[in-house]
């Protein structure tokens, strides 16, 4: 079972993910001004996870999507250098949720994934 399935079995992690993001970057909470019922936060997380699943598999769109969203988010007020922080926040929250179930193998897989994402985010658009 992959780490995402283990996390999902513990319930919806959305609130924990954004609580940690806003604890680390308090200025980012205000950017969600239009998100009055947290639906945008939830949808953003769903889109991130769907893109991650594609990225680690066939990468039909995941890497390009992540890179494209840097530009969209710059218009929202998210500095490009902070955009990738969301993935690290996800890893940290998932590790906390899983506790002892977060194995060295899972940790290594996420470290490799985060390094690959860093590489993709730094690529120049064609």
Instruction: Point out which residues bind ligand HEM (CB under 6 A).
Output: 28, 31-32, 34-35, 40, 43-44, 47-48, 51, 66, 69, 73, 76, 78, 82-83, 85-86
Residue nearest to ligand HEM (CB): 43
**Closest approach of ligand HEM to the CB of residue 32, in Å:** 5
Output 11-17 pairs: Cβ under 8 A, ≥24 positions apart: 13/45, 13/93, 13/94, 13/97, 14/38, 14/41, 14/42, 14/45, 16/93, 16/96, 16/97, 17/45, 17/89, 17/90, 17/93
**Closest approach of ligand HEM to the CB of residue 80, in Å:** 10
**Closest approach of ligand HEM to the CB of residue 26, in Å:** 11
Distance CA 85, CA 27 (A): 14
**Closest approach of ligand HEM to the CB of residue 60, in Å:** 15
Residue whose token pair is 């860093």: 118
Angle, to 10 degrees, between the axis of helix 85-98 and the axis of helix 14-24?
A: 130
């Amino acid at each position: 079972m992959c780490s995402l399935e283990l996390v999902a079995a513990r319930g919806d992690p959305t609130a924990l993910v954004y609580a940690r993001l806003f604890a680390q970057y308090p200025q980012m909470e205000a950017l969600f001004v239009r998100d009055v019922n947290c639906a945008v936060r939830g949808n953003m997380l769903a889109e991130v996870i769907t893109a991650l699943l594609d990225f680690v598999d066939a990468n039909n769109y995941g890497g390009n999507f992540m890179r494209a969203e840097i530009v969209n988010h710059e218009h929202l007020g998210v500095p490009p250098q902070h955009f990738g922080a969301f993935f690290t926040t996800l890893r940290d929250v998932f590790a906390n949720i899983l506790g002892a179930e977060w194995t060295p193998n899972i940790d290594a897989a996420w470290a490799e994934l985060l390094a690959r994402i860093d590489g993709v985010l730094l690529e120049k658009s064609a």
